Structure 1
Amino acid sequence: MAKVKVIAEIANAPINSEQVKEPKVCIAVICRLKSTRLRRKALRPIHGIASIERCLMNCLAVPGGYEVVLATSDLPDDQPLTQFTLDNRVKIVTGDPDNVAERLLKAAEATRADIVVRVTGDNPAVSPEMMGYMIDQHIKTGADFTYAKESTMGTVGDVYTVEALRRLLQYSASLSHAEYLSFYFFNNPDLFNLNAVELPAEWVHPEWRLTMDEIQDLELFETLYKAMDIGPRPLTFEELQAFLLKHPEVAELNRGIKVKWRDDTALVRELNEATTLKKRL
């Protein structure tokens, strides 16, 4: 009976902070050089520094000191990206050219992470502040997938629990539309626990386009970084926002460019159909 009593006392004892494992987080920048509208855009200089390097510097500046991984393909055409280790502060993983989920998982395994943040290499000015906020919200809720309800385009990424990525890949290893990974989570709320985050209102400027797909986008970034004289250092959203509010004409440089996954109704219909999983895992 004494043994049973001891076991019961242990079971009912409060959990202390030393017994709770803090989840490990990594930030994975997904990037390739296959773009057709703005060829090899990740290598294009913005005020003298490659766009992908600017993105990586901002990821390294996310509060919390998380490990950053550049996840590209194993194709010869993408090998120039493997040089961007930023003095060995960034890990490099290569993998399937088309399966983004698989490359995210490789990035997580390379850093032994429980949570992985997906940032696209198209976004040189991704916000360290917003990424820190998203990570905190994900950890608080224990969700499978955390995303911003509304944001300034190009400033924030998605957050995934690694176990949820493994479940998705177990269901369908091919993932024919993995480039649009978030659709697999949006369209299967019965399989995944979704967490829609409302960013602070002062961070949200839906009229701004801070991503790189067209020559006008490059012109905006070059104008912005040159005017602010941003050298080899991160650019916070606070700085960027202050500049664009003071110089609204710069934000007009790429106004009106369509976003394929949002504005192309045929593509959206195709994505919704292809990423809706037909049965439970």
Structure 2
Amino acid sequence: MAAGQQNKIALVIQARMRSTRLPGKILLPIPLGSGKPLLSWVIDELKAFSLANDIFIATSTNLENDLLVSYCIDNKIQCYRGEEDNVLSRFISIANMGPYNCIVRLTADNPIIDIDILERVVMRHLNNGNDYTKTEDLPVGMNFEVVATSALLDLQKYKLSLDDEEHVTMFIRNNEQYKKEIYPIADYKHLKGLRLTIDYASDYTLISSLLSQCINDDKLKGIQIVERAFNKYPWIFESNGGNFQKKQYLDLDEELREARAFLENHDFKRVAKILKVKNED
């Protein structure tokens, strides 16, 4: 459906209270000492997105998420609870609540959201008739994924792996029958190497510092928050630069390349060399 026609768009925030490295992080106050939870930063930014019809929290039925559900009730946010490991099933259930033309997949631990860029990628997705659109060249934690509802619902006819069920867009990304586009945001490629997701305490410390800028300047939004800090205090981004970012690998070769790079960057050069030799064998 063309962008000029009536479109229905759902913003779905994948969220849960369980976290191995930083338990309960999505409801931690940020900046440190403020009364605003991390998740509220995500929701408040998304409320400014004029193209969206609905915002959902997609969480699981695990008991620890009862606190998250209470937050949603108190803040009048739609919440869907489903299976813990089959995250895809939560998105499919929400897609069936529509009708929606597309769903934007977000996560609750990425509080710096640029609404102007989100609008650009959603419009591009709709205008090009894509099944899947993803941005690149933004900092880790700021890229967007947009999925056509028809593509999500199409997944119900396949026997999916556990990885496909856990990682919502993996099957679509790995199969050629879907129309996909990687949309580079070249204006901010110089910020691509920065890490702006919250998994570790050091991630929280960095983003707490970045968001503290907004207390004195409420007009500062999205990528501007990052750019201002990067221009004035580039050293601050070294605080979480060594943190490992989990990702889904397309194949064993890609995973081995990433493992070797990680080992080399942490001075395990002999182990990295052995791994390289074994892979070449």
- Write out aligned runs for 1:78-227 (5 A): 78-85=65-72, 90-172=77-159, 175-189=162-176, 191-202=177-188, 205-227=191-213
Deviation at 1:73, TM superposition (A): 0.8
> AA paired with 2:25?
K
Q: Is the alpha carbon distance of 1:91 and 1:110 closer, same or farther for their aligned partners in structure 2, counting shifts above 3 Å? A: farther
Aligned equivalents of 1:145, 1:223: Cα separation in 2:
34
- State the partner residue of 2:275: none
Task: Please state whether the residue corresponding to 2:64 is helix, strand or coil.
Answer: helix
Partner of 1:273: none
Unaligned runs of 5+ in 2: 257-281
The answer to whether the Cα contact below 8 Å between 1:134 and 1:146 also exists between their aligned partners in 2 is: yes
Q: How far did residue 29 of structure 1 move? A: 0.3
Other-structure match for 1:46: 30
Question: What does 1:18-97 align with in structure 2 at a 5 Å threshold?
Answer: 21-47=5-31, 48=34, 49-85=36-72, 90-97=77-84
Aligned counterparts of 1:54 and 1:110: Cα–Cα separation in 2: 25
Once residues 200 and 6 of structure 2 are traced to their aligned partners in structure 1, the CA distance between those partners, rounded to angstroms, is 41
TM-score (norm 2): 0.78
1:56-92 deviation digits (Å, cap 9, x = unpaired): 1122222424421111112211121123338655311
Distance 2:147 2:221 in 1: 25
How many corresponding residue pairs? 251
CA contact (8 A) 1:127 1:156 kept: no
Quote the RMSD (CA, aligned, Å): 3.0
- Give the secondary-structure state (helix, strand or coil) at the position aligned to 1:223: helix
Residue-by-residue CA offset, 1:102-136 (whole Å, 9 max, x unaligned): 11122233343121000011201122222111111
- CA shift, 1:234, in A, is 8.6
CA positional deviation for 1:45: 1.3
CA distance in 2, matches of 1:262, 1:269: 9
Tell me the SS of whatever aligns to 1:28: strand
2: CA distance between counterparts of 1:45 and 1:256?
A: 24
Does the C-alpha gap of structure 1 residues 267 and 41 become closer, same or farther in structure 2, counting only changes over 3 Å? Answer: farther
Kindly state the Cα deviation for residue 219 of structure 1 after the two structures are TM-superposed.
0.4
- Structure 1 residue ranges without an equivalent (≥5): 1-16, 271-281
Partner Cα distance (2:93, 2:158) in 1: 17
In structure 2, what is the Cα distance between the partners aligned to 1:170 and 1:150? 33
How far off its partner does 1:230 sit?
A: 6.5
Identity %: 23
The structure with the larger Rg is 1
- Structure 2 CA distance for partners of 1:187 and 1:131, relative to 1, 3 Å: same
* Worse-matched range after superposition: 158-167 or 78-87: 78-87
Greater alpha carbon shift after TM alignment, 97-106 vs 176-185:
176-185
Q: Which amino acid aligns with 1:218?
A: Y
Distance 1:74 1:183 in 2: 23
Shift of residue 157 of structure 1? 2.1
Are the equivalent residues in 2 in contact too, given 1:261–1:267 (CA < 8 A)?
Answer: no
Q: Counterparts of 1:230 and 1:74 in 2: how far apart (Å)? A: 39
Distance in 2 of aligned mates of 1:93 and 1:230: 35
- Pick the aligned partner of 1:246 from 232, 249, 254: 232
Question: Does the CA-based 8 Å contact 1:57-1:234 persist in structure 2?
Answer: no
Quote the Cα distance in structure 2 between the aligned partners of 1:62 and 1:203: 23
- Structure 1 counterpart of 2:265: none
CA contact (8 A) 2:8 2:52 kept: no
SS at match of 2:211: helix
SS of 2:56 mapped into structure 1 = strand
